[in-house]
Every structure is written in C-alpha cells, then in structure tokens.
C-alpha cells in the first residue's frame, strides 16, 4: 500500500479501498494510524461536499416576496 505521486504512472487505490485493506492491522503496525487518517479524511471530504451542496441548494432556490 504505497503512495503514487505521479498521475500518469500506475494506479492508486481509493480511500475506501485503503481503509478496507488496513482495517485488520494490529495497532502496533505502522500503517494503523494511516487507516485512521484515511477514514477521517474521507469523513471530512463527505462533510464538506454535503455543506457545499446545501449552500448551493439554498442559494439557487426561488425567493418568495
């Protein structure tokens, strides 16, 4: 489970795949914190997209006088 910094070479896994692959690791292994960081990052991304969607929906509704 490595990090690929080049967008043109090889493939890179998604955050849910990384979380699923590392969820069975014992806490003493170095990748354990990386799994928690990936889960937190995914939650923050989803929360920000949800807030953005609510803002767009509120801004585009017709206002009644």
**Mind listing the pLDDT tens digit for each residue in 18-52?**
788 787 777 787 777 888 888 899 999 999 999 99
pLDDT at 63: 67
Domain span at residue 62?
33-65
Query: What's the pTM?
Result: 0.65
The two tokens of residue 12 are 């890179």
Q: What are phi and psi of 14, to 5 degrees?
A: -85, 165
In a domain, 59, yes or no: yes
In a domain, 39, yes or no: yes
In a domain, 61, yes or no: yes
pLDDT at 36: 85
- Residue 19 CA: distances (Å) to CA of 1, 16, 23, 62: 11, 5, 6, 41
In a domain, 40, yes or no: yes
3 pLDDT band (50/70/90 cuts)?
A: low
- Residue 20 CA: distances (Å) to CA of 25, 29, 37: 10, 16, 13
In a domain, 27, yes or no: no
Number of domains in the chain: 1
pLDDT at 25: 76
d(CA 20, CA 9): 23
């Amino acid at each position: 489970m490595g990090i690929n910094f080049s967008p043109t070479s090889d493939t890179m896994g998604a955050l849910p795949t990384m979380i699923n692959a590392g969820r069975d690791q014992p806490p003493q292994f170095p990748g354990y914190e990386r799994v928690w960081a990936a889960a937190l990052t995914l939650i923050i991304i989803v929360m920000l997209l949800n807030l953005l969607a609510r803002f767009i929906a509120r801004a585009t509704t017709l206002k009644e006088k």
